[in-house]
Amino acid sequence: MDHVLLLPAGGLTIFDASLVSTSLVLVFGLLILLCLIITLEGKIFDSINAKKRAQAKDALHVGDKPAPAVVSAPAQAAPAPAPAPAVEGGISGEIVAAISAAVYYTEGANVTVRGIRRLPQPGASRRGVWGDAGVLQNTRPFI
């Protein structure tokens, strides 16, 4: 048994130590290589997206012509503001503003909120709306 040397740490042989060290170097080397590949792919995709954005921006400006001089017309009356929405009692102004802002953000400026009311709650639970949503989410079957 000339080729087996017992190391003082619990009877490991030189072969065991070289196997462990080779495995560690190989695993960490491949992890570093994988990180470099992912970083390189990210840079490639970023440059592709930047080129697409630049092409889209150039396409918008290709047909641009200088705007003709605008002759100022007499001041027109400002359009009448939209009527305030019909709000059910118990709904605060902050909630009306938040709902109106959400509708404006999702649908655009050409939509008018005409009314805000609470939906009837057939069998309101003690948990409330958020508690019921949590129960539904966590008890939904995995199909």
CA angle 43, 46, 47 (to 5 degrees): 90
Residue 108 or residue 12, greater confidence: 108
Cα dihedral value 49, 52, 53, 54, nearest 10? 120
In contact, 107 and 99? CB cutoff 8 Å: no
Please give the pLDDT value at position 21.
92
Please give the pLDDT value at position 85.
75
Amino acid found at 22: T
Q: For residues 98 and 31, what is the distance between their CA atoms, to the nearest angstrom? A: 48
In contact, 82 and 115? CB cutoff 8 Å: no
Res. 1: pLDDT tops 80: no
Res. 98: pLDDT tops 80: yes
